[in-house]
Amino acid sequence: MKVYFLGTGTSQGIPVIGSDHPVCHSQDQKDKRLRVSIWVEWDNNSFVIDCGPDFRQQMLTSGCSKIDAILFTHEHSDHTTGLDDIRPFFFKQGNIPIYGHERVLKNLKKRFDYIFETENKYPGSPGVFPIEVENNVLIESHSKKIIPINAMHGDLQVFGYRFDNFAYLTDVKTIETTEINKLKNLDVLVINALREDAHNTHFNLQEALGFINIVQPKKAYLTHISHTFGFHEEIQKKLPENVFLAYDNLIINI
């Protein structure tokens, strides 16, 4: 299984528009972060998690030419507003399966009503095949059994996803023990860590490291990074030896 980090930034991305912050002016490519998303590939199957405003650029940069499904974590704009740009995939492949919580699918239907239209559809509009994700129900697709992981993003429910010994969770602030128990024996865990300072709806560094300590994956990668966290190189130096700061276009093989 190959995991490609399409984006590792928080909602505004890095650089932030018009920002004077030194991280936003860094010359290090690892300090340039598009909105969070990953591309997971195995045996010629291709799944993307989330589809934010940088989706088009991410597909061009990564060379992704086929999408078998998009899994949504939640409905926030930084995770969903690229949906119209699935058009080139739709033209080649037909309706694209999209997975999400019932609430997330409803929200997408409201925001992208024309995509969900079945009659009198505007020619050129993309199409999707929505599939509801329920907690404690496996997603069996393309020879994989994907386990949804339920977590809370402040008051909002979010899903993470486990593929074999790899799990991806973002926008988590709290998570129940029953869900943590679904994360045993991981080779790789990806988890959000916004910055060092506390935040109401996202793990900060300390909370993310505490979570990693409980889950005990072989390796962990941090994502959904704010410019206020600091420079990539300096943050990496502060991390335990099996914890890495993810960066855009990083590829890991599992």
The minimum distance between CB 216 and Zn ion, in angstroms, equals 25
> Is 48 in contact with 38 (CB distance < 8 Å)?
yes
How far apart CA 220 and CA 241 sit, in angstroms, is 10
User: Is the omega angle on the peptide bond into residue 15 within 30 degrees of 0, that is, cis?
Assistant: yes
Name residue 140's beta-bridge partners.
145
Q: Which is nearer to Zn ion, 164 or 196 (CB)?
A: 196
The minimum distance between CB 201 and Zn ion, in angstroms, equals 7
The minimum distance between CB 31 and Zn ion, in angstroms, equals 18
How far apart CA 83 and CA 127 sit, in angstroms, is 10
**CB-closest chain residue to Zn ion:** 76
Tokens encoding 168: 């991806």
How far apart CA 196 and CA 218 sit, in angstroms, is 23
> What is the distance in angstroms between the CA of the first residue and the CA of the last residue of the chain?
5
Helices and strands of the chain, counted as H and E runs: 8, 14
Q: Which is nearer to Zn ion, 26 or 223 (CB)?
A: 223
Name residue 244's beta-bridge partners.
221
The minimum distance between CB 123 and Zn ion, in angstroms, equals 33
DSSP string, 198-228: --SSS--HHHHHHHHHHH--SEEEEESB-GG
Q: Which is nearer to Zn ion, 76 or 182 (CB)?
A: 76
How far apart CA 85 and CA 80 sit, in angstroms, is 11
The minimum distance between CB 11 and Zn ion, in angstroms, equals 5
The minimum distance between CB 77 and Zn ion, in angstroms, equals 8
Q: Which is nearer to Zn ion, 53 or 217 (CB)?
A: 53
* Residues making contact with Zn ion (CB under 5 A): 76, 78, 171
Q: Which is nearer to Zn ion, 76 or 232 (CB)?
A: 76
Strands 128-132 and 2-7: unpaired
Q: Which is nearer to Zn ion, 41 or 78 (CB)?
A: 78
How far apart CA 194 and CA 149 sit, in angstroms, is 20
Q: Which is nearer to Zn ion, 78 or 85 (CB)?
A: 78
The minimum distance between CB 74 and Zn ion, in angstroms, equals 6
